[in-house]
Amino acid sequence: MYASPWVLGDAWFEYVDEPAGGRTGDGENSNWGLVSVNDVPYQTMVDAARAMHVNAPGTPPSP
């Protein structure tokens, strides 16, 4: 992905899921996060994000 000239960058939409009762304003309650509303990581997703970003150009080494 990073070698592709048409890619400007990458990001993840949400860190934490939206609440089951829906967010304020529009009631959207999607499961988009890297962690649940109880701050429990979705480990498969976290591992995939880590694996991708550790190879990204300019990424400092992990401690």
Select from 17, 15, 44 the least CA-distant residue to 28: 17
Q: How far apart are CA 40 and CA 8, in angstroms?
A: 30
Q: How far apart are CA 19 and CA 30, in angstroms?
A: 8
Q: What is the pLDDT of residue 4?
A: 76
Q: What is the pLDDT of residue 35?
A: 92
pTM for the complete prediction? 0.62
Q: How far apart are CA 17 and CA 29, in angstroms?
A: 8
Select from 44, 57, 51, 48 the least CA-distant residue to 7: 57
**What's the pLDDT tens digit per position in 23-63?**
888 888 888 888 998 999 999 988 988 888 777 776 666 55
